[in-house]
Structure formats: structure tokens, C-alpha cells
Amino acid sequence: MNFEKVVFAFFIILALSLNFGFFVGDLSDPTHHHFYELFAALVVSLICTLLKFGDRTHFGSTVLASSLVADLQLIAAAVVWWYSADSGISGVDSASMASIVSLSGGALVANLLSVVLLIIETSQIRK
């Protein structure tokens, strides 16, 4: 068993599950989505991106691209959250939360693509 591959797969699956955990819930209800869960999803996604830089295969470049898309979406969601919480009297309203969760949904699709590519790559490895 290759420990590096285990760590790599662990972080990819953790990024997907954290992002899914944040995404689930009423789209516009801020009480269904916690900021720390979005922050954890972003941090783990950034760790995944760093781990993907060493792979020189075609699959590796596609997985890196999907990870960069997920990072961009999650960073945008965090910026929208920060801006809406900091600029308004009412804090994060339902319209802002809908935008945040929608951006997180885009990152979820990119993370799902990373996991599917990981499964495809793993199934092609022969002993």
C-alpha cells in the first residue's frame, strides 16, 4: 500500500464530504449553513490542491484543474459571506446565502469530478 496515495485520496474525499455537508440544507436559510464548515471545506480543498501539484500524468492535470475550480468557487463563497456579513446591518441575508450556497454547489461538482477521476485512475492501475 502506498501511503502517499492513501493521504491523497483521503484529502480528496474529505474535501468532497465537507463541501457536501455545507451545501446540504435550505438554500437561503443561514442557520442551515455554518461559516466554519465553509472554512474547513476551503482549507481542505487548498490542501488537496497542494497535494496534486506533484502528479505529472494527464489525469493529474485534470484533477488539478478541477481542484483549482473548487478552490476558486469556495474562495468566492467566503468573500461573498465576508462582504455580506461586514457590509450590512442585517448580516447575511437569504439572497447572500443563496449565492454562497450556489458557489459551494459549483465547488461540490468540481470535487465530485476529482473523486470520479481518482476512481478511474485507481481502477486502471494493474499489479
Got the DSSP string for 7-45?
HHHHHHHHHHHHHHHHH-S-TT-GGGS-HHHHHHHHHHH
- For residue 25, report the phi and psi dihedrals to the nearest 5 degrees: 135, 175
CB 111 within 8 A of CB 15: yes
Q: If you average pLDDT over residues 12-28, what whole number do you get? A: 90
Q: If you average pLDDT over residues 17-29, what whole number do you get? A: 88
pLDDT in tens, 41-75: 999 999 999 988 877 777 788 889 999 999 999 99
User: 94-124 and 35-52 are packed helices; what angle lies between their axes, rounded to 10 degrees?
Assistant: 30
The verdict on pTM exceeding 0.85 is: yes
- Please report the pLDDT score of residue 2 as a whole number: 82
Amino acid found at 70:
A
User: 35-52 and 3-23 are packed helices; what angle lies between their axes, rounded to 10 degrees?
Assistant: 150
